[in-house]
Amino acid sequence: MTAKGKIWGGRFSEEIDAIVNKINASIDFDKRLYKEDITGSIAHCKMLGLKGIIPNAEADLIIKALKEILGEIENNLIIFDGYEDIHGLVETLLIEKVGPVGKKLHTGRSRNDQIALDIRIFTKSAAQRAIDLIDELRRSFVRLADKNIDVVMPGYTHLQKAQPILAAHHLLAYYEMFSRDRMRFVNCCNNADVMPLGSAALAGSTFNLDRNFVAEELGFSEISLNSMDAVSDRDFILDYMYSASVLMMHLSRLGEELILWSTNEFNYISISDKFCTGSSIMPQKKNPDLPELIRGKTGRVYGNLMGLLTTMKGLPLAYNKDMQEDKEPFFDTVDTIEICLEVTARLINEINFNRDKMTDAVNKGYLTATDLADYLTGKNLPFRDAHKIVGEMVIYAMKTSRELHELKLEEMKKFYHDIEDDIFSWLDPAETIKKRNIPGGTGPEIVKKRIEQLKAELNL
């Protein structure tokens, strides 16, 4: 297409170099904004008609044609090749349908505020989809926690056994993470809920546009208050991509634990065959590829965020062509987190705990040492002194290849004379957990209460 054939070609006298068309075109990726672009154009056209900026009859004709174009695209009747961007495609198709009247649609707007509108509509929708998918993932965790409320497992710090916890308590830690992710996407949706159309290229319009009408038509809660900021702002995309990055970090941490727990060395869980793959050479293998892929895709989402931050960091006001580079990483991030969330929710529903293995693991490794120190502190010992005594008892038990609960009362009294028979309830992992029924703790009563609360909130 020559410069003269472009929607902006009036000022140009030479044909554009073919390589410029190749690097300048965005239709290959912004075509997925066709619905947002046409929806925005319909609202804009309605307003032009209502304000008498164009005749109502012409507005009706344009709107009818735009709806036809939308249907044709959705029925795969339109070829996108050869157009510069989605705006040019829609406008060209419109003029082909209604003739010169179609050229009036662009009255009072620029591609700058047009793309800002399109991408804000898209962002709001994408953020809401993320919220819905996170909700389903949260339901999966609550269901699995409820199903395994009586399972005790080792809690870890530094990937070393630390203290006994309920498996349900561990699972609900991820519920809290994903709840924070949900709030970030709610905030992202709110930040994108500002209608920029009417800002034109950067200075607003000389036409008496009813921007509030367009905002109401499109479901925006407010309009932008500075035309230069409106066309050059991509903070809302960065909000989404940052939210996605934190989300992927949480999914990656979960994936790492699922991978570890499903190894022969841990053998705490079994992941359904539906969500694993095999080896092309080793017949016995059952590989947790999906958690691994999610762990790997986290770096990809991080990279998308850093790429756009770098693109935006040196741009003067207002719009610059650099900003065309926002869409590919953004769309990729949207697609990536949506498949990762859907896969993870399904996978979590298909996990089974190896209760015997976890019970065995929690009874080895001196996991009740802290409880023993608490017991001694209750005997009027300063905690630091109790800590030292228990450390010595652990060394003694290790030298004799025993656990703390396997020591005899007479042996323990050598370390502190006031230790009594009741000490053994402090050395039983299932019993020590029951002593942690404080808000936020791993005690069965508090965890059960939390699960029932969450089931009510999530309509489970």
Q: Which residues are catalytic?
A: 158, 279
Report which of 120, 116, 131, 240 is spatially closest to residue 188, judged by C-alpha positions: 240
CA angle 339, 241, 176 (to 5 degrees): 70
Task: For residue 178, report the phi and psi dihedrals to the nearest 5 degrees.
Answer: -70, -25
Closest CA to 119 of 342, 323, 337: 323
Q: Tell me which DSSP letter residue 133 carries.
A: H
Cβ–Cβ under 8 Å, residues 424 and 405: yes
Query: How many Å apart are CA 67 and CA 92, to the nearest integer?
Result: 14
Exposed, middle or buried by CB within 10 Å (0-12, 13-18, 19+), for 387?
A: middle
Burial of residue 19 (number of CB atoms within 10 Å: 0-12, 13-18, 19+): exposed
* CA atoms within a 13 Å half-sphere pointing along the CA-CB vector of 98: 21
First to last CA, the chain: 57
Which residues, including other chains, have CB under 8 Å from residue 173's CB and lie 6 or more apart? none
The tokens describing 101, both together, are 């009247």
- Nearest residue to 308 (alpha-carbon basis) of 289, 281, 332: 332
Residues 130 and 56 sit within 8 Å (Cβ to Cβ): no
Report the C-alpha gap between 162 and 145 in whole angstroms: 21
How many CB atoms are located within 10 Å of the residue 50 CB? Answer: 12
Pairing of strands 194-195, 222-223: parallel
Burial (CB count within 10 angstroms: exposed 0-12, middle 13-18, buried 19+), residue 274: exposed
Give the pair of three-digit tokens for residue 234.
């991509």
